[in-house]
Amino acid sequence: MVKSVAVMVGSLRKDSLNHKLMKALQKLAEGRLQFHLLHIGDLPHYNDDLWADPPESVLRLKDRIEHSDAVLAITPEYNRSYPGVIKNAIDWATRPYGQNSWKGKPAAVTGTSPGVIGAALAQARLKNDLVYVGTVMMSMPEAYIQWHAEAYAADGSVTDEKTAKFLQAYVDAFVDWIEKHG
């Protein structure tokens, strides 16, 4: 049975490397996982006063998370952490009090950057915060991916055999994680 995954990509840039990574993972997961991109760029800054008349973007975010079998966060690394747009989405989905959309969702975190450590520090911080809000975090395997454009085709296919094997193992582990904890 195909599992639904709410995917949060932390880069809003048109030519985002992390969005390209999402496409590659999506292609490797075909037939087993169906990705649904969370549109976190249109969320207003968190403000508790807005719950009197919640923005449509917030309601859409919460609904997508709640109607997904799992969550996948794909983050770049900005100044040794993950982007504020992700933190904002985390905060919105935990509210209002008692209506935490993240609670109990199997989750995984990955990310890419041109740097050698492949967004490792951002991923570590994000994993910690997602565990705190109640996701059931996949701790292994970790996927700190140094971006090499030549390893990917425009359609999201992974053209480098070593990269494809690594990413396929990550996707397989995530599918297993969802099956065990969903």
List phi, psi (to 5°) of 162. Answer: -65, -45
**Is pTM, for the whole model, over 0.95?**
yes
pLDDT for the residue numbered 75: 98
pLDDT of 149 strictly over 90:
yes
How far is CA 51 from each of CA 85, 101, 132, 133, rounded to the nearest angstrom?
Answer: 19, 15, 22, 19
How confident is the model over 17-41, as a mean pLDDT? 98
How many Cβ atoms are within 10 Å of 142's Cβ, its own excluded? Answer: 16
pLDDT for the residue numbered 167: 98
- E strands present in the chain: 3-9, 33-37, 70-74, 106-113, 136-137, 144-146
pLDDT for the residue numbered 118: 87
Question: In whole numbers, what is the pLDDT of the chain averaged over residues?
Answer: 97
Q: 3-state DSSP helix/strand/coil percent for the chain, to nearest 5?
A: 45, 20, 40
Give, as one character, the DSSP assignment of residue 115: S
How confident is the model over 166-182, as a mean pLDDT? 97
CB 106 within 8 A of CB 135: yes
**Residue 34: which pLDDT band, with cuts at 50, 70 and 90?**
very high
pLDDT for the residue numbered 182: 85
Q: How confident is the model over 88-126, as pLDDT tens digits? A: 999 999 999 999 999 999 999 999 999 989 899 999 999
